[in-house]
Amino acid sequence: MRTQVAIIGGGPAGLLLSHLLHLQGIDSVVLESRDRGYVERRQRAGMLEQGTTDVLRESGAGERLDREGLVHHGLELRFGGAGHRIPLTDLTGRTVTVYAQTEIVKDLVAKRLADGGDVRFETEVVDLDASAPSVTFRDAGGATHTLECDYIAGCDGFHGVSRPAVPGLRTFSREYPFAWLGILADVPPSTEELIYANHDRGFALHSLRSPQVSRLYLQVSPDEDIAAWSDARIWDELATRFATDDGWKLHEGPITDKSITPMRSFVAEPMRHDRLFLAGDAAHIVPPTGAKGLNLAVSDVIVLARALTERYATGSDTLLDTYSSTCLRRVWRAEHFSYWMTTLLHVDPAADDFALRLQRSHLDYVASSEAAKASLAENYTGLPIG
């Protein structure tokens, strides 16, 4: 078996890379360990930067996004019993769009299969060679195959096989003393724009999935037992943390999914070894507060697709040679913004009164300073790619 680019991982990063390469006449094979149903149901991020929506539209994969995505022109910081709107579009000229990762994956799978793409589900990668590029994998029937290629893209997430195949990696990480308890609920959202709430009892986020489905989060302990959180307790705690002095009400409804997600920051450098290139969660993780995880994965594969296109079109390795440094500039900026948003809004259980007063002062500053609002808006809607 042979292809030009072997892509390990059939999430949004791997699928989008395959689609972008196809548009440039470059062949690829996508190898995904899970079955198609699992991949298309996997709950993940849902806030898209302007650059992410632009590339999906320009690549022809944005039809349903344009029809069903919820475009936002602002967000709300809520603390001290009051809301403070950050007018994203007024400050940057850009928007963000709520459109679940599950839907992006469905769109890209359908697009690749309709275009004759080679997407192989239930394939376990057992070995890879970055120097004489090849990937050995076991298919759903247990048969072993070797896929020879020119390049390998490791888009297989934090726990995948690609990152361990890069020798001499330098890693940077931070664990946070809290986690998110997230729910999906069949209830119309109580807000038209996201609400990021800081409360003495902890952080809360009101997001959206559709006009009929709400996505909400609570700060909890990393070792929290989800069984201890009944639906009634979750709604009571959300109502407490979102409460305002003007009597704002939270809509409640049936909870269809609940989970607890730990919070971490992680970066691996470099993002390339020989002909193996890491992208997305295989190379970096951000806490979800800044809504950067999916968007960083997309920016990585945009940069990689451009570099591979140049290589096949002109024979030049220039963009491939600068892939890691180009991506890492944006990664570290997003890491800092995500860290900043996380520490700005969450309550550190070890914080003393002095630290809590500093946090409130910082929130007051962001809510009242046009310069601070503009900085938040610029980072939140997305910096230039590449």
* Residue 126 pLDDT exceeds 80: yes
* Residue 386 pLDDT exceeds 90: no
- 151 catalytic? Reply is no
- 312 catalytic? Reply is no
Q: Is residue 106 part of a domain?
A: yes
Average pLDDT across the chain, whole number: 96
Q: Is residue 377 part of a domain?
A: no
Q: Establish whether the linkage from the previous residue to 270 is cis, with ω within 30° of 0.
A: yes
Q: What is the mean pLDDT of residues 248-264?
A: 95
Rounded distance between C-alpha atoms, residue 327 and residue 333, angstroms: 10
Q: What is the mean pLDDT of residues 275-301?
A: 97
Q: Which of these is catalytic: 12, 133, 189, 288?
A: 288
CATH of the domain at 137: 3.50.50.60
Q: Which of these is catalytic: 19, 292, 346, 373?
A: 292
Q: Which of these is catalytic: 99, 151, 217, 380?
A: 380
Under DSSP, is residue 99 helix (H, G, I), strand (E, B) or coil? coil
Question: Which residue range(s) make up the domain with 272?
Answer: 5-45+100-173+265-341
* Residue 45 pLDDT exceeds 80: no
Of the pLDDT bands very low, low, confident and very high (cuts 50, 70, 90), residue 41 is confident
DSSP 3-state percent helix, strand, coil across the chain (nearest 5): 40, 30, 30
Q: Is residue 350 part of a domain?
A: no
* Residue 44 pLDDT exceeds 80: no
Share of the chain above pLDDT 70, in %: 99
Q: Is residue 325 part of a domain?
A: yes
Q: How many domains does the chain divide into?
A: 1
Q: What is the mean pLDDT of residues 292-317?
A: 97
Of the pLDDT bands very low, low, confident and very high (cuts 50, 70, 90), residue 97 is very high
pLDDT tens digit string along 193-206?
999 999 999 999 99
Q: For residue 84, give both structure tokens.
A: 């403070």
Q: Is residue 303 part of a domain?
A: yes
pLDDT given for residue 42 in this prediction? 80
Q: Which of these is catalytic: 99, 196, 217, 323?
A: 196
Of the pLDDT bands very low, low, confident and very high (cuts 50, 70, 90), residue 136 is very high
- Going from the C-alpha of 277 to that of each of 19, 154, 311, 328, the distances in angstroms are 17, 6, 14, 13
Q: Is residue 193 part of a domain?
A: no
pLDDT tens digit string along 98-108?
999 999 999 99
Given a contact cutoff of 8 angstroms between Cβ atoms, the answer to whether 186 and 159 are in contact is no
- 288 catalytic? Reply is yes
- 292 catalytic? Reply is yes
* Residue 368 pLDDT exceeds 90: yes
- 380 catalytic? Reply is yes
Q: Which of these is catalytic: 72, 199, 284, 373?
A: 72
Q: Is residue 326 part of a domain?
A: yes
Of the pLDDT bands very low, low, confident and very high (cuts 50, 70, 90), residue 209 is confident
Q: Is residue 95 part of a domain?
A: no
Q: What is the mean pLDDT of residues 337-365?
A: 97
Q: For residue 133, give both structure tokens.
A: 């590029």
* Residue 161 pLDDT exceeds 80: yes
* Residue 71 pLDDT exceeds 80: yes
* Residue 222 pLDDT exceeds 80: yes
Q: What is the mean pLDDT of residues 110-114?
A: 96
Q: Has this prediction a pTM greater than 0.85?
A: yes
